[in-house]
Every structure is written in structure tokens, then in C-alpha cells.
């Protein structure tokens, strides 16, 4: 069952964050879609999905990537979109430091250009060192970068906190980054 949950979670990430057209899904301007439509469209692509399975994917996702509306009739991804959606995020004052995990091989480019959102809406940061390390380990030997978030705020950068406690910002110039020693 764990393998099925992971597979459906990845498929949901694809269609709720990047390519809803892959299964003919329609998202509203805030990224929401009907749970019934999601189930129907996933099943039309050969998946065996029930409402209970979707609920299990949402509740068991370690990164809390998805949210239901109050009556659980609608679902969306919390952040990480490469398509245009308005997540209705409010500017939030960050803690003094936030962290970003990356792989060692990306460090020279990051220290040169800073953290860039690329094809996403924001750069993702965390308050959790363990989470940063796990993210960095996905692509090789992990490196943790400390971000001087309060300094950035004073310099005019705007931070948002997503529903699943991921900190979001447009970019992080390299002057606000410090490579942490393990």
C-alpha cells in the first residue's frame, strides 16, 4: 500500500502543481479542483483511486504537499507550482534564519547567482534543519545553506508561509547565504 500511496502522491503533484492538462483536470485561479473530478480523471488514466486513498495521500504526505477545503470537496497543492495560480499567501515576518538544502554539486552556481526560483513561483526555505538536509540529499551529497531572512526582510524582500510551513520568497541573493558546516 505504501508504494501505491507514493505513486499516487507523485501523480497528484504532477497534475496539481505542473500539468493538470495531463489528465484533463481544470484548476481554478487559486489552484483548487474538485476531489470528485480528480478521482474521475485519475481513474480514467488507469489508476485505481478512491476518496479514501486521496485522504490517505493527503494525511500521510510527510511534506504536507496537499490541502482540502473545509468540507473536503476541493483539493490543491500547497506550493511548488510551475503553473500560474494565486495561493492567496499573506506576507509573513520570517525568523532570523531559514535554511535551504541543496546538493554539493549545485553549490558553486548558487553561491555565484543566489537561490533562484527558476520555473517555480518561489524559492522554498524551511526552519527545520533536518528537512533541509533531506531535501539536499535528494540530488547527492547534501549541503545546508543558512539564509539571513531577517536581513532580507529589512532589505525589502517579502516572505510568505505556506499552509504546510514552507517559507517562500522570490529569490535569495548570495549575499544572504552562508554554507553551514556539518
pLDDT per residue, tens digit, the chain (182 aa), is 889 999 999 999 999 999 999 999 999 999 999 999 999 999 999 999 999 999 999 998 777 889 999 999 999 998 878 888 888 888 999 999 999 999 999 999 999 999 998 877 789 999 999 889 988 888 888 999 999 999 999 999 999 998 878 899 999 999 999 999 76
Helices (H) and strands (E) in the chain, counts: 6, 11
Dihedral angle computed from the Cα positions of residues 88, 94, 99 and 101, in that order, rounded to the nearest 10 degrees: 10
Residue that has been written with the C-alpha cell 473530478 in this structure:
37
For residue 48, give every residue at least 6 positions away whose Cβ sits within 8 Å of its Cβ, in sequence order, or none: none
The pTM assigned to this predicted structure is 0.71
Amino acid at each position: 500500500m505504501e508504494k501505491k500511496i507514493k505513486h499516487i502522491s507523485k501523480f497528484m503533484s504532477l497534475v496539481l502543481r505542473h500539468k493538470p492538462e495531463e489528465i484533463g483536470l481544470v484548476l481554478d485561479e487559486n489552484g483548487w479542483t474538485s476531489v470528485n473530478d480528480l478521482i474521475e480523471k485519475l481513474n480514467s488514466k488507469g489508476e485505481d483511486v478512491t476518496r479514501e486513498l486521496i485522504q490517505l495521500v493527503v494525511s500521510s504526505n510527510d511534506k504536507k504537499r496537499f490541502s482540502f477545503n473545509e468540507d473536503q470537496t476541493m483539493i490543491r497543492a500547497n506550493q511548488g507550482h510551475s503553473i500560474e495560480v494565486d495561493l492567496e499567501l499573506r506576507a509573513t515576518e520570517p525568523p532570523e534564519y531559514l535554511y535551504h538544502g541543496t546538493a554539493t554539486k549545485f553549490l558553486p552556481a548558487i553561491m555565484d547567482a543566489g537561490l533562484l526560483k527558476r520555473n517555480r513561483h518561489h524559492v522554498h526555505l524551511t526552519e527545520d534543519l533536518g528537512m533541509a538536509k533531506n531535501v539536499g540529499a535528494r540530488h547527492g551529497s547534501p549541503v545546508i545553506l543558512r539564509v539571513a531572512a531577517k536581513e532580507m526582510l529589512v532589505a525589502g524582500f517579502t516572505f510568505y508561509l505556506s499552509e504546510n510551513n514552507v517559507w517562500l520568497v522570490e529569490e535569495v541573493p548570495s549575499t544572504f547565504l552562508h554554507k553551514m558546516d556539518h
